[in-house]
Structure 1
Amino acid sequence: MSARVTLYTRQGCHLCEAAREVVARVCDDLGETFDEVDVDGDEGLRERFTDEVPVTFVDGRQHDFWRVDERRLRSALGG
């Protein structure tokens, strides 16, 4: 089963670190998993998301960028 949440990040990004903490906490609480993808490892992703990282997707749809709202993420995951 694939992860419902995908977090697009980059190295050295303080907003990415904060987003990762929220996503990890929510997913852990709800028994979900998440994938993390470094946008700088793929030219297409870097071009698409470079000014918006971190970007969070839930069930394949963009959910948030820059900051992750914990209540919204929990709601999107049914928690």
Structure 2
Amino acid sequence: MHIRLYTKTNCPLCDKAKAILAELQADYRFTMEEIDIYEDEALLEKYQLMIPVVELDGEEIGYGMMKKETIRKRLRQAQKS
């Protein structure tokens, strides 16, 4: 499983999302890639007001205020497939 976390600098919600994902890595095996939306015009336009955005294997599974249980549930589903 691979998670992409779309973020920007000085973003408290992004920091919280990173912390949640780091905690979940103890229970689920996934790689994580952090992408700054300000380094890509298309991403900036797409995610500007939504960040942070969590994408699991190419599917957006959450944005904004992240809930650990929501992400955990999606990881569990993906692990079973």
TM-score w.r.t. structure 2 length? 0.86
In the TM superposition, what whole-angstrom CA distance separates every residue of 1:21-60 from its partner, at most 9, and x where no partner exists? 0011112321222111000000000010000110111121
Taking only aligned residues, the RMSD between alpha carbons, in angstroms, comes to 1.4
Q: How many residues align?
A: 77
In the other structure, the counterpart of 1:56 is 54
Contact persistence 1:56–1:64 (CA under 8 A) = yes
In the other structure, the counterpart of 1:33 is 31
In the other structure, the counterpart of 2:43 is 45
> Are 2:65 and 1:67 aligned?
yes
In the other structure, the counterpart of 2:11 is 13
2:26 aligned counterpart, secondary structure: helix
Where do 4+ consecutive residues of structure 1 move more than 6 Å?
A: none
Residue type of the partner of 1:10? K
Which ranges in structure 1 are unaligned for 5 or more consecutive residues? none
* Structure 1 Cα separation of the partners of residues 57 and 26 of structure 2: 17
In the TM superposition, what whole-angstrom CA distance separates every residue of 1:54-79 from its partner, at most 9, and x where no partner exists? 01111211111112211111111117
Aligned sequence identity (%): 29
Identify the match of residue 24 of structure 1 among 22, 25, 40: 22
